[in-house]
Amino acid sequence: EGLRIALDHIDAIIKLIRASRTVDEARDGLMENFGLSDKQAQAILDMRLQRLTGLERDKIEAEYQELIAKIAYYKDLLSDVHKLMGIVKQEMLEIRDKYSEGRRTEITIGEGELEIEDLIAEEDIVITATYNGYIKRTPVGLYRNQKRGGRGISGISTREEDFVIHLFVTTTHDYVLFFTNQGRVYQLKGHEIPETGRQARGTAIINLINVEPGERVTAILTIRDFDDQHTIFMGTRFGVVKKTLLSEFSTNRKTGLIAIGLDDGDELIGAEITDGEFEVMMATRRGQSIRFHEDQVRAMGRNARGVKGITLDENDFVIGMDVVKLGTDLLVVTEKGYGKRTAVDEYRLQSRGGKGIKTLRISEKNGLIVGMRVVSDSDEMMFVTALGVLIRMKVKDISRYGRDTQGVKIMKLDDEDFVTTLALVAIKDDEDDVQEELF
């Protein structure tokens, strides 16, 4: 607009500029005599003489008229919201048409990037699970040793009718496989299980793995990697056994995998890692046991049912399964706190599927068997009761007896309390003592 005014009054403007002594005086004169702004006046002073030609005059006039038209258009557009939204819609459709193809580049995690466990210290932990489905982890050092017959202290706060059914030692970096009574297996890293205080009952397992109603953890295994050199050997309440390659259990699915096909009413009661060279022992609630080599069970797929491991009498069922090691004992514990260990050599090797032989003399005094483990003198055990009381004990402090005996009292129980389970505690070679506080 300033250039257009200059062209309309070119002679007067040239005369004013020639009469001015300084640039500032010329600029002020232009602003005062022609009503120009500071920028317009400066633009006239900066204008080259070639723009005074007729062609340039027509160009400036056309540019001026174009700008006036644009100003009128945008003022009208901003004053009408419907027109404005129409423009926005049109531009969005153009963007959609232009960029509607799927992403052609692939975004991946680069090699060498940190994973969360790289920032987490590796340490031994204890995982405790309750019958009603609560779980927690605690450093393994927070236990104390006690002599046989000690009372123990409360290690977990439970609701009425809830009690601890499983205790296992692993590390924060290992894979943790959760096998449930319904024959499924779930996978977590040790550090993914929340750590809680001494009396806390823990976190609901359903918040960590998608267990179904009535499903509870019956075995927990820890591994570094999934391979084809090892198998998972499983046993059920009805005496069925099965083994499956470890590599078939690798998964990131929160819904878990089928580990074994179960008959109606049957439950998975144990799972162990084997390499094809192990012997297996099973024990029943009414005192029977059987020992056989795992090579009598061929490797099967995850969905397979398995084969008979032991033949059961009426009203009897399997309460535990373990693998045999040289120079070990079979430890059994009853609901009334009685227990004993018997040399594995006293149990002859049999063919799987038989009725087995006597491992404990059942009586009103000692009660029915609730748990068994194959142990050595250097092992330590954790015994758990329905009221949440735990006691840690060295295996060497539990007396050895023959197969057909009642055992001895190894844990004092309050009225209406009873033993529910036992677990083997992993001890470091350099661990000389254990802290007094439990959980």
Q: What is the pLDDT of residues 78-88, one digit of tens each?
A: 888 888 898 89
Looking at residue 382, its pLDDT comes to 81
139 against 366, higher pLDDT: 366
Q: Is residue 111 part of a domain?
A: no
Q: How many CA atoms lie within 13 A of 373 on its CB side?
A: 17
Binned at pLDDT 50, 70 and 90, residue 173 comes out as confident
pLDDT for the residue 432: 38
**Is 439 part of a structural domain of the chain?**
no
Asked if the structure places residue 418 within a domain, the reply is: yes
Give me the long-range contacts of 358-361 (CB less than 8 A, separation at least 24).
358/287, 358/288, 358/289, 358/403, 358/404, 359/283, 359/287, 359/288, 359/289, 359/330, 359/332, 359/403, 360/287, 360/332, 360/334, 360/403, 360/404, 360/405, 360/406, 360/407, 361/287, 361/404, 361/405, 361/406
Same domain, 52 and 179: no
Q: Phi, psi (5° rounding) for residue 367?
A: 80, 180
CA nearest to 40, candidates 70, 11, 60, 20: 60
Q: Both 206 and 329 in a single domain?
A: yes
pLDDT given at position 164: 64
Specify the long-range contacts of residues 39-42, CB closer than 8 Å, at least 24 apart.
39/2, 40/1, 40/2, 40/5, 41/2
Instruction: Tell me how many domains the chain contains.
Output: 2
The predicted structure's pLDDT at residue 223: 86
Residues 17 and 164 in one domain: no
100 pLDDT higher than 90:
no
| pLDDT tier, 422 (very low <50, low <70, confident <90, very high otherwise) | confident
- Give the β-pairing of 257-258 and 338-343: unpaired
Stretch among 91-95, 343-347, 357-361 having the lowest mean pLDDT: 91-95
Comparing CA positions, the residue from 174, 170, 202, 206 lying closest to residue 188 is 174
User: Nearest 5°: phi and psi at 235?
Assistant: -135, 150
Q: Are residues 153 and 33 in the same domain?
A: no
CATH number of the domain within which 9 lies: 1.10.268.10
Residues 6+ apart with CB under 8 A from 336: 365, 366, 367, 413, 418, 419
278 versus 255: the higher-pLDDT residue is: 278
**Mean predicted lDDT score pLDDT of the chain:** 83
Using pLDDT thresholds of 50, 70 and 90, give the confidence band for residue 245.
very high
> What token pair was written down for 208?
């960590």
Among 102-111, 209-218, 240-249, where is mean pLDDT lowest?
102-111
Confidence (pLDDT) at 147: 47
Task: Name the least confident of 230-239, 320-329, 376-385.
Answer: 376-385
| Cα atoms found within 13 Å of the Cα of residue 325, Cβ hemisphere only | 10
Let me know whether 52 and 138 are in one domain. no
User: Pick the residue with more confidence: 153 or 310?
Assistant: 310
CB 332 within 8 A of CB 407: yes
Q: Is the pLDDT of residue 329 over 90?
A: yes
Q: Point out which residues pair with 273 in neighbouring strands.
A: 232
Looking at residue 428, what is its pLDDT? 36
Tokens at 417, concatenated: 């309390």
Q: Picking from 33-37, 148-152, 209-213, 430-434, which range would have the lowest pLDDT averaged per residue?
A: 430-434
pLDDT at 434: 31
Q: What is the pLDDT of residue 160?
A: 47
33 part of a folded domain: yes
Cα separation of 35 and 8, whole Å? 13
Asked if 155 and 293 sit in the same domain, the reply is yes
Whichever domain contains 271, its CATH number is 2.120.10.90
Of 65, 98, 131, the residue at which a domain comes to its end is: 98
Other CB atoms within a 10 A radius of the CB of residue 130 amount to 25
Rounded distance between C-alpha atoms, residue 179 and residue 221, angstroms: 8
Q: How many CB atoms lie within 10 A of CB 301?
A: 11
In a domain? residue 110 = no
pLDDT at 122 over 50: yes
Task: Specify the pLDDT at position 118.
Answer: 75
Whether 112 maps to a domain, the answer reads: no
Residue 438 lies in a domain: no
* One domain, residues 338 and 231: yes
Lowest-confidence segment of 45-54, 121-130, 234-243 by average pLDDT: 45-54
Indicate whether this model's pTM tops 0.75: no
Radius of gyration of the chain (CA): 41
Q: End-to-end CA distance of the chain, in Å? A: 85
pLDDT at 154 over 60: no
Residue 383 lies in a domain: yes
What is the pLDDT, as a whole number, of residue 54?
57
Within this chain, do residues 134 and 94 fall inside the same structural domain, yes or no? no
Work out the pLDDT band at 420, boundaries 50, 70, 90: confident
Mean pLDDT over 381-397 rounds to 85
Across the range 65-74, mean pLDDT stands at 88
What mean pLDDT is predicted for residues 147-172?
A: 58
Residues 198 and 320 placed together within one structural domain of the fold = yes
Residue 151's pLDDT band (boundaries 50, 70, 90)? very low
Q: Are 258 and 212 in contact (CB under 8 A)?
A: no
pLDDT band at 50 (very low <50, low <70, confident <90, very high): low
The boundaries of the domain holding residue 48 are: 2-98
Pair (298, 165) in one structural domain = yes
Specify whether 78 is located in the same domain as 145.
no
Indicate the pairing of strand 357-358 with strand 288-293: antiparallel
Share of the chain above pLDDT 70, in %: 85
Identify whether residues 92 and 155 lie together within a single domain.
Answer: no
| Confidence band for 170, pLDDT divided at 50, 70 and 90 | confident
